[in-house]
């Protein structure tokens, strides 16, 4: 029987029930992929982060309830919070080795943790799929761009908040969908929809800011930006563009700590 520590952390918030929840499991060694996926399904969170300590830092992987994914911001923030706060980690920077996006670092400055992620360039979509507009319940957008996800730029924060999407209609698009606009009290706001996933709207999405930060940095003519994801739970992010990297800062708070008893 394996006993594994389990943490449930709210990321991109300083209070319970805000931000985006992620499960975090420190491992002594890697378990079979099918076991990791079964654990993620049992946890029933949008993502579970698993990590193993190495000589150089930590190996980090992320699983949804359906499969392993290439990058997850809030679960990386959650894993970092666990390492810094509960694993007697003496340094102010963590280096993670990942399978799909290389090395990632997270720095601690007081209560704020800053992710160093790759910047994603997006391309303009001249003829956006009609289904994209239909699924969002709109007839037009200020701009549509694409990288890993679709990015639909709207006029203002009120439009972003008012969107009531048909998530099931998005599934044939075969991409996740981010909507964004200038913010009232921050530089930009966003929401993020995940068709076909267990969580239809992600509360706070670190990874999509890899695409949002370069876009808004160019549009607003500044490299340091304040962002807010205006989902029902909501979350605040401190953002910075540094060449081909983006810095994404947020806070995190522990909600639950326990033990997994893995009998196989």
Q: What is the pLDDT of residue 196?
A: 84
Distant-in-sequence, close-in-space partners of 79: CB < 8 Å, separation ≥ 6: 22, 24, 49, 51, 58, 60, 96
Position 199 pLDDT exceeds 90: no
Averaged confidence pLDDT in the chain? 96
CA distances from 91 to 49, 57, 94, 153, 170 (A): 21, 11, 7, 39, 43
Q: What is the pLDDT of residues 103-142, one digit of tens each?
A: 999 999 999 999 999 999 999 999 999 999 999 999 999 9
Q: What is the pLDDT of residue 197?
A: 80
Domains present along the chain, CATH in parentheses = 2-116+249-262 (3.10.310.10), 123-243 (3.10.310.10)
Q: What is the pLDDT of residue 209?
A: 96
- Tell me the average pLDDT across 79-90: 96
Position 29 pLDDT exceeds 90: yes
Provide the 10 A C-beta neighbour count for residue 91.
11
Is 68 assigned a catalytic role?
Answer: no
Q: Which residue in 3, 28, 34, 47 is the catalytic one?
A: 47
- Tell me the average pLDDT across 155-183: 97
């Amino acid at each position: 029987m394996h006993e594994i520590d389990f943490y449930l952390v709210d990321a991109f918030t300083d209070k319970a029930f805000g931000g985006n929840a992620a499960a975090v499991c420190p491992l002594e060694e890697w378990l079979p992929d099918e076991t990791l996926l079964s654990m993620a399904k049992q946890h029933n969170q949008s993502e579970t982060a698993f990590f193993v300590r190495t000589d150089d830092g930590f190996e980090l992987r992320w699983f949804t309830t359906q499969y392993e994914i290439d990058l997850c911001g809030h679960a990386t923030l959650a894993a970092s919070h666990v390492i810094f706060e509960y694993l007697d980690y003496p340094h102010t920077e963590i280096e993670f080795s990942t399978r799909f996006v290389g090395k990632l670092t997270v720095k601690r400055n007081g209560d704020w943790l800053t992710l160093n992620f790759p910047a994603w360039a997006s391309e303009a979509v001249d003829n956006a799929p009609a289904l994209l507009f239909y699924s969002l319940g709109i007839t037009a957008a200020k701009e549509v761009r694409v990288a890993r996800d679709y990015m639909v730029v709207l006029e203002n924060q009120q439009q972003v908040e008012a969107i009531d999407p048909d998530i099931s209609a998005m599934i044939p698009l075969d991409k996740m969908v981010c909507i964004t606009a200038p913010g009232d009290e921050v530089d930009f706001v966003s929401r993020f929809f995940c068709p076909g996933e267990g969580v239809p709207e992600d509360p706070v999405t670190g990874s999509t800011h890899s695409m949002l930060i370069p876009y808004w940095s160019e549009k607003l003519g500044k490299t340091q930006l304040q962002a807010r994801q205006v989902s029902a739970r909501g979350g605040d992010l401190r953002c910075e563009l540094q060449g081909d990297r983006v810095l994404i800062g947020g806070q995190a708070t522990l909600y639950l700590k326990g033990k997994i008893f893995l009998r196989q």
